[in-house]
Chains A and B, each alone.
Chain A
Amino acid sequence: MKARTRVVGRPYAKIDAAAKVTGQTKFADDLFLPRMLHCKLLRSKVAHARLLRVDAGHALAMPGVVAVATGRDLPVSFGILPVSQDEHALAIDRVRYVGDPIAAVAAIDEDAAFDALDAFEVEYEPLAPFGSIDDAIARAEPRIHDYGDGGNFHKLVSMEFGDTAKGFARADRVYDDLFFYEGSTHLPLEQHAAVADFGPDGKLTVWSATQTPHYVHRALAKVLGLPAARIRVIATPNGGGFGGKSDPFNHEIVVAHLSRVTGRPVKICLTREEVFYCHRGRHPTLMRVKTGVKRDGAITAMHFQSVLDGGGYGSYGVASTYYTGALQTVTYRVPAYRFDGARVFTNKPPCGPKRGHGTPQPRYALEVHLDKIACDLGLDPAEMRKSHLVPPDSVTANFLRVGSMGLGACIDKVIEASGWRERRGRLPVGRGLGLACSSYISGAGLPIYWNSMPQSGVQLKLDRSGGVTVFCGSIDIGQGSDSVLAYVVAEVLGIDPFDIRVVTADTDLTPVDLGSYSSRVTLMTGNAALQAAERARELLVEAAAAKLAIRKARVVLADRRVFDVEDPDNGMSFADAVVLAESKFGTIGTVGSYTPPPSPGRYRGAGVGPSPAYSYSAAVVEVDVDPETGIYTVPKVWIAHDVGKCINPVLVVGQVEGSVYMGLGEAMMEEMAYRSDVNGNVVHKFPSLLEYKSPTTKEMSEVVTFLVEDPDRNGPFGAKEVGQGPLLPIPPAVANSLFDAVGVRVDEIPATPEKVLAALKLAAAGKTARVGPTSFPDVPYPPPMRVLTPEEGGDGRAGAAAVASRPAAENSKNESPETASR
């Protein structure tokens, strides 16, 4: 049942839209404070080395230089995850990628700071660098970090839900495919920037373009050794985030330190090249997926293996690793499931969470794999998927609780609109259609630091003038989260969203929200705002009911009035109602909190994957291939997204379109490419906006968007996420459309024209028309942790008995003989 609403569901402008279109929005680099100094970072020129000496003395003597800093000034480590506190604000004795910060300078202007960088003397003792997954697996020494799961493995995991061996044995066919998904980066147009001001009162204020002011707050307190109570972090509106501003960063800590030592405000704005070095983007991921199916496409068992190229530091990598194996089960029924995951360290900028965090790679692999299976079984890929959907209100083999599930409706929308049944396989040579589906979390069930506190808090202040102010720690990164707060509160209090003032992302003024990541904000802050607003509404209703001499149930708040539903003329203005309430109860302020419901999974690793609600998407892509060159375009995309309920449909459509765009960029051209062949160094091939290919207006497809609303009981008004999920089906749908168009399989993203032509040439030579990885490395995955599925009566815990009852590990290289090899 849909909630009936007045404000929610309407295509309002964003509350900050006027500021954005007039250039009034203050981004971090737009802040200029009196006496402000400018900071530059000296970055490593060597991919992997011991630092023997960093001499800053000469730099300090350069004109205009006020202060310098090196690693010894900031010896405490930090990192986003408690399990991988492996970063230093400035390298102390080791550098791990070209671009790793070594020293910093604060000067009277940016020119002086830049000129001083060449005056530092750095002595490196180069170590053999690791440029790829293969490198990191092949050589255990020298280790990039002295922690992890041995050699240069940062993380190795293996888990099995149910009995996959039995499942494969029960299958009519078993399919086994390899895929590779290249790394890509967020490329927000706003370069990271931060300003720090350490005041004479001993208090520090840091403004930063961050998606996670709460975690910046934690990192600053830890590294600077200051009480968190003396640190104020203000996240400035992000000029694009996409996950790239979700870690605490070196530069944020460094400017805080330099402000502390100089007593002056210090600013840093990274260059575009440095933004590439901050990275934290999509992990390059090699994948193997083996699936047993019945003739009708029903999955009997799945074994998914991944290896992630993590770059030089941990970042979110442990979570990313688990995410490559978590969400395979929430779209189509998988009764028995095994996942082996690995993350290696390499000497490249660290990878982390980019839109879809760890799930676009396995989703691509899975959806292309299923397309191959459907083709092989002679089934319509759309019908095959629809026949085996995960039912709503169910628990998957790996104990993810699915609530609302609108994927079937999404598939219907896009196959209908694209003419899938009539056109697929029947278009002229070179043109084709491809379908893929996906799902994504609406926030993670568990926070990064496990605790019992809410993940999101909202405070509401009602003023006797009728003014309403919402305070929340969330940060608007362009997705409209500030506006969501206003819409939700306006809906409940019956006022106009533009009447409301929203104060966000200031650790001094606003209650904690964990940040704008994992598509959590609409659901979590929305619920917290809903609770705070309902509590305020209750006060207003009680005061008004007494005044109007009616039962509370008859009091309605709408149209900036509070009135009797049975006699609408009998009422008062919203402001008058606040005056009544304040007279009766004193100062009016309410709070709301949100904590996700507990997840049924209790096994180690069960923290990744659970979510209060899952969004679903289906997309059909039409492609136009030039078979002589392999060059192709995507003229049109049909996409349907189950968002639960639109808080604001025009913003939801905007998120869908933006996701399609980013998915197309990854599918077709974007690539974090490195050179390992120059001077024994590993360098980013072209850290620039010209050579990192972000699609322009000319590449963007026509997009037909369908919003499907299957409300989830956990979402505010039923709302689920939209910011990330719609990216996921695009890369596999592109790959599948290439097969329909020219009969080739590109099992590697990006699917560049070179690869398409190479596959076409193979086809012309009578060989298998496929390009992609041909082998999977020998990864020492541990014996799987075994968990009985809900169907088997499992309680969500790993069973010691189950582990003992079966052989420790099936060698992943020796699959059963029925494995179809294609």
Chain B
Amino acid sequence: MEHGENSAPPERSKVHVGFHVNGEPIEAAFAPHKTLLEVLREDLALTGTKHGCELGECGTCAVLVDGRPVLSCLYLGLECAERRIETVEGMAAGPSLHPLQKAFADLGAAQCGYCTPGILLTAKALLDGNAKPTLDEIKEALAGNLCRCTGYIKIFEAVELAAAWMRGEELQPRRETLYGTDYDESGLLPVVR
């Protein structure tokens, strides 16, 4: 009987798979029933990818496969053969944060930071295909990523801010984003610089 090239022998023995992770070619050997989530965290030491249920019910483990957000907890490692995987570790260009990362940091859109990697990657896929998404489009794109800390608002604002930066606009965060509405700044001394 002939099987496909990714066919695995039974039980414990490992499959040997080659794919691209964050732009680098990688070969790894792992048990065939391991998910991409497990392979990334346990075999490649890329623990930036988090997990919240491992059943596809929270979006925490989202990564990009061939540019599209998928849930790594329900994606077999060996299905990744020859595919391009992007994780949060690959977002920054060297020491420079991706605009999304910078915007999330500036606005406090990462509170505990646990859902952040999945949300950043999902937002990246959105902005890669839509330079100026509406608020509704951002909400829809991120509807599969639960966050318990932020109420999502800082996340929406950070995606909008990053999108503007990526379009080359020199947008500053809204005052209300940083201080709430009608904040009384009389207590602030000028920053000496």
Contact = CB atoms under 8 A, between A and B. Distances in A.
Contact of B108 (A19, A191, A654, A660): A654
19 contacts: A4-B188, A11-B173, A20-B113, A23-B88, A30-B47, A188-B148, A189-B115, A646-B179, A649-B179, A650-B179, A652-B180, A653-B154, A658-B148, A661-B152, A688-B57, A689-B146, A690-B53, A697-B145, A709-B187
B131 interface: no
Interface in B165-193: 173, 176-193
B193 A27 contact: no
Leading 5 A-B pairs by shortest Cβ distance: A23-B48, A478-B112, A20-B113, A661-B151, A239-B114
A493 to B, nearest CB: 14
A231 interface: no
Nearest to A16: B113
A26 B114 CA distance: 10
A798 to B, nearest CB: 41
B71 to A, nearest CB: 12
Contact of A21 (B112, B116, B177): B116
Contacts of B41: 30
Contacts of B110: 14, 17, 20-21
Interface residues of A, number: 76
Contacts of A17: 104-106, 108, 110
A388 interface: no
Interface in B125-148: 138-140, 142-148
Contacts of B142: 697
A240 B116 CA distance: 12
A14 B105 contact: yes
A187 interface: yes
Contacts of B180: 649, 652-653, 656, 705-707
B117 interface: yes
A440 B166 CA distance: 41
Contacts of B185: 9
A20 B52 contact: no
A749 to B, nearest CB: 18
A504 B140 CA distance: 38
**Residue picked from B100, B111, B188, B191, most chain A C-beta under 10 Å:** B111
Interface in A619-678: 645-646, 649-654, 656-662
Interface string A551-577: 000000011000000000000000000
A650 B58 contact: no
A809 interface: no
A694 interface: yes
A377 interface: no
Nearest to A241: B112
B37 to A, nearest CB: 11
A10 B108 CA distance: 13
Contacts of B58: 189, 689
Nearest to A478: B112
A19 B192 CA distance: 28
Interface residues of B, number: 77
Contacts of B148: 186-189, 240, 242, 658, 661-662, 694
A657 B154 contact: yes
Given A5-B187, A688-B57, A689-B55, A650 B108 contact: yes
A9 B188 contact: yes
A709 B184 CA distance: 8
Contacts of B47: 23, 26-27, 29-30, 32
A646 B148 CA distance: 22
Given A5-B189, A559-B192, A23 B150 contact: no
B149 A272 contact: no
A558 B191 CA distance: 9
A4 B189 contact: yes
A802 B53 CA distance: 56
**B-side binding surface: helix, strand, loop or mixed?**
loop
| Most B-side CB within 10 Å, residue of A19, A20, A660, A689 | A20
Contacts of B42: 32
B153 interface: yes
B92 interface: yes
Nearest to A10: B188
Contacts of B111: 478-480, 654, 658
B87 A23 contact: yes
A661 B150 contact: yes
Interface of B: 41-42, 45-55, 57-58, 60, 87-89, 91-92, 97, 100-102, 104-117, 120, 138-140, 142-156, 173, 176-193
Contacts of B145: 697
A238 interface: yes
B50 A27 contact: yes
Interface in A393-446: 413, 417
A382 to B, nearest CB: 18
A240 B100 CA distance: 21
Contacts of B187: 2-5, 9, 645, 709
A688 B53 CA distance: 8
A237 B89 contact: no
A721 B124 CA distance: 34
B21 to A, nearest CB: 13
Contacts of B108: 13-14, 17, 480, 650-651, 653-654
Nearest to A273: B53
Given A13-B106, A25-B113, A661-B151, 13 more contacts: A14-B110, A17-B108, A20-B104, A21-B113, A22-B88, A23-B46, A23-B47, A187-B148, A189-B148, A240-B114, A649-B179, A653-B154, A688-B57
Contacts of A696: 143-144, 146
B120 A21 contact: yes
Nearest to B117: A23
Nearest to A637: B151
A698 B143 contact: yes
Contacts of B190: 6
Contacts of B89: 22-23
A649 B46 CA distance: 33
A271 B113 CA distance: 19
B188 to A, nearest CB: 5
Given A23-B49, A23-B87, A690-B57, A650 B146 contact: no
Contacts of A650: 107-108, 177-179
Contacts of A465: none
A13 B142 CA distance: 23
